[in-house]
Structure 1
Amino acid sequence: MFLESTDFVWEKIDENLERALIGFDDSLMQTIVRFKKGGIGYLHHHFHSQCAFIAKGSFEVQIENEKKILSAGDSFFVPSELVHGVVCLEDGILVESFSPARKDFLS
């Protein structure tokens, strides 16, 4: 299926984050998350594998006890159950993929 950016349905997560689902089935989900500077994806873990591509901005990314600053064009992968989170250092966009799909994002 095709989805143009003008058709994205944005869900406000908090004052600094909003997310749109851009494609999914039971085995895979892709989202796009817009962050304002200072926005936080708080440390968490889940059974899904996750891959994220930084489309805009820069982020301090933490996976377990390791932190790294990544910028547009960089990516990171989080295996199942590892603790991870991000802090947005300048307005940014993450494109994230999850396997299997995040059913909790559909409610």
Structure 2
Amino acid sequence: MSHFPIVSTGDHVTRQVLSDHPDLMVVAFRFEASGAIGALHDHPHVQSTYVESGRFRFTLGDTEHEFGPGDSFVIPSGQTHGCVCLTPGMLVDSFTPRRDDFL
């Protein structure tokens, strides 16, 4: 179990770092209600997202995609992205290098 705190990132959304190393970080994002939003943003880190549970509509650059349990995808460095929760669930994100702003 992670020793990192659970942090609110918006209405019905929390984040918890699961593990970290300067080269890699794994983070769980829990969406507790349909309509919860992961705001559009970008960062210099490469991100891999795995949908552990729930259903989400992601904006990835200029396109939208729906993802559900077992789906995964990679977001390149600098690409604008965000999501809307369609069915409550959890995303597991990996970042390289580590997101120091999450510590």
TM-score, normalization: structure 2?
A: 0.93
CA separation in 2, counterparts of 1:47 and 1:66?
20
Q: 1:63 aligns with which of 60, 63, 81?
A: 60
Residue correspondence of structure 1 range 69-84 to structure 2 within 5 A: 69-84=66-81
Residue correspondence of structure 1 range 15-30 to structure 2 within 5 A: 15-30=11-26
Q: Give 4+ residue runs of structure 1 displaced > 6 Å after superposition.
A: none
TM-score, normalization: structure 1?
A: 0.89
Percent identity over the alignment is 37
**RMSD between aligned residues:** 1.3
Q: For residue 63 of structure 1, what is the amino acid of its counterpart?
A: L
CA separation in 2, counterparts of 1:8 and 1:71?
26
Shift of 1:14: 2.1
Do structure 1's residue 99 and structure 2's residue 90 form an aligned pair? no
Query: What is the aligned partner in structure 1 of residue 6 from structure 2?
Result: 10
CA separation in 1, counterparts of 2:21 and 2:70?
26
CA separation in 1, counterparts of 2:60 and 2:10?
22
CA separation in 1, counterparts of 2:13 and 2:42?
18
CA separation in 2, counterparts of 1:104 and 1:12?
14
Q: Secondary structure at the match of 1:101?
A: coil
Q: For residue 41 of structure 1, what is the amino acid of its counterpart?
A: G
Task: Give ranges in structure 1 of 5+ residues lacking alignment.
Answer: none
Q: For residue 59 of structure 1, what is the amino acid of its counterpart?
A: F
Contact 2:10 2:37 in 1 (8 A): no
CA separation in 1, counterparts of 2:9 and 2:80?
20
Do structure 1's residue 45 and structure 2's residue 45 form an aligned pair? no
Shift of 1:77: 0.7
The total of aligned residue pairs comes to 102
